[in-house]
Amino acid sequence: MSALRQSWPMPSAPRPIVIIGAGGIVKDAHLPAYAKAGFAVAGLFDTDVAPATALAEAWDIPTVFASLEEAATQDAVFDVAAPPVAHRAILSALPEGASVLLQKPMGLNLEEARAIRAVCRDRKLNAAVNFQLRYSPMMLAVADAIARGDLGELVEIEVHLNLVTPWHLFPHLNDNPRVEIVSHSIHYLDTIRALVGDPVGVFARSYGHPSSPLTDTRTSAILDYGSMLRVTLSINHHYDFGRQFQDAAFRVEGTKGAAMVKLGLLLDYPTGEPDELWIANTGGPWEQVPLEGRWFPDAFVGPMANLQRHAAGEDARLATQVEDAWRTMALVEACYQSNAQPGTPMTALEGE
């Protein structure tokens, strides 16, 4: 098997980055990814000065800005790693025409996504959303295998999670009316869109769990791609019965071959296990593809590299540009609308 693409090309002259936000995702993913890629971080801003100062000291970042307005004066690419409720105000404060990477999700619902898109349009922002799973080494390799025709015509995509997620690490989700799909399964919905485009419809149900105060933490979904391609998600974040039968898998099957991805990060999150990618052709053995990195932090290099290259004219397409990201949010909204609809009642069959 010839080598599969696992990374995004780097910009020839990367610009400095100003990060808005200093939470856990910046510490665990953004800063390690940018250091690995050689991207320079010019400064940080957060309304809570203490974590911004601590991160700046830990990562030798020269400046902690005193205000959003001061941060916005910089000649830089802006990485907005703030909660969705703050996105519109932050985007409105940035210079017109600025290049911006916006933390996912793009709002908590489609109305907020529309408003964020409108700000980006009005201010002519070169803006993308940080849907990073599609940029991970394993998923870039799967996309390359599909593009090369290695798997043939696709007939199956399945995402299956049966594990324990430490939701206590995300206390900001406690009061959200929507949790699982918009905060977690959105990764899979976006990656599926990157692989096979938009479905024509969706059937979805999300569920809570007695052990959690969160609104919903389990999801079943079927994406409708017609009569040949079956796409399903089965997501359970509460399988607390030991590691033996826990699972975090992304399966892609075609008429000529199949790919199995182990989402190792999710097993014992945030430490995780190694990610894995296995590919088999019809009648042949499974072969493990050596990976050149992990979901965290390596997948966070790709969105920034694509944004910087697009801003410099080196990439014709901004893969997760807000217009495309809005379509991922529309798919999320369709899942929630489906969730609110009743199933076919058994009483409809009575008397037959």
Q: Which two tokens stand for residue 196?
A: 């096979």
162 and 184 share one domain: yes
| Residue 352 pLDDT > 70 | no
143 and 27 share one domain: no
- Compute the distance between CA of residue 262 and CA of residue 278 in angstroms, rounded to an integer: 9
Question: What per-residue confidence (pLDDT) applies to 115?
Answer: 97
Residue range of the domain that includes 205: 134-299
In the three-class reduction of DSSP (H, G, I as helix; E, B as strand; rest coil), residue 280 is classed as strand
Strands 247-254 and 154-162, bridge-based pairing: antiparallel
For the chain, the domain total comes to 2
pLDDT (tens digit, 9 = 90+) per residue, 249-299? 999 999 999 999 999 999 999 999 999 999 999 989 999 999 999 999 999
Q: Is residue 335 part of a domain?
A: no
CATH of the domain at 254: 3.30.360.10
Question: What per-residue confidence (pLDDT) applies to 348?
Answer: 65
- Compute the distance between CA of residue 206 and CA of residue 215 in angstroms, rounded to an integer: 9
229 and 292 share one domain: yes
- Going across the sheet that includes 99-102, the strands are 41-45, 17-20, 77-80, 99-102, 126-129
Q: Is residue 264 part of a domain?
A: yes
Question: What per-residue confidence (pLDDT) applies to 71?
Answer: 98
76 and 187 share one domain: no
- Compute the distance between CA of residue 180 and CA of residue 200 in angstroms, rounded to an integer: 22
In the predicted model, what is the mean pLDDT of residues 60-69?
97
On whether the CB atoms of residues 183 and 83 are closer than 8 A, the answer is no
Q: Is residue 328 part of a domain?
A: no
Taking the CB of residue 37, how many other CB atoms lie within 10 A of it?
20
Q: Is residue 7 part of a domain?
A: no
35 and 143 share one domain: no
In the predicted model, what is the mean pLDDT of residues 177-206?
97
172 and 194 share one domain: yes
**Contacts of residue 208, Cβ cutoff 8 Å, sequence gap at least 6:** 214, 215, 216, 217, 218
152 and 281 share one domain: yes
Q: Which two tokens stand for residue 348?
A: 């409809």
157 and 30 share one domain: no
Kindly provide the residue ranges of all beta strands, DSSP E only, lying in 35-75, ordered along the sequence: 41-45
Q: Is residue 2 part of a domain?
A: no
pLDDT (tens digit, 9 = 90+) per residue, 125-157? 999 999 999 999 999 999 999 999 999 999 999
- In the DSSP assignment, the letter for residue 64 is B
213 and 268 share one domain: yes
171 and 51 share one domain: no
Residue type, 332: V
280 and 157 share one domain: yes
pLDDT (tens digit, 9 = 90+) per residue, 18-40? 999 999 999 999 999 999 999 99
Q: Which two tokens stand for residue 33?
A: 């990814």
Of 81, 91, 107, 84, the closest CA to residue 26 belongs to 81
In the three-class reduction of DSSP (H, G, I as helix; E, B as strand; rest coil), residue 155 is classed as strand
CATH of the domain at 31: 3.40.50.720
On whether the CB atoms of residues 65 and 56 are closer than 8 A, the answer is no
- Compute the distance between CA of residue 62 and CA of residue 94 in angstroms, rounded to an integer: 20
In the three-class reduction of DSSP (H, G, I as helix; E, B as strand; rest coil), residue 162 is classed as strand
In the predicted model, what is the mean pLDDT of residues 237-259?
97
203 and 287 share one domain: yes
> What are the C-alpha distances in Å from 74 to residues 16, 55, 204, 333?
9, 19, 44, 35
Q: Is residue 9 part of a domain?
A: no
**Contacts of residue 257, Cβ cutoff 8 Å, sequence gap at least 6:** 145, 150, 151, 152, 279, 280, 281, 282, 284
Q: Is residue 351 part of a domain?
A: no
Q: Is residue 84 part of a domain?
A: yes
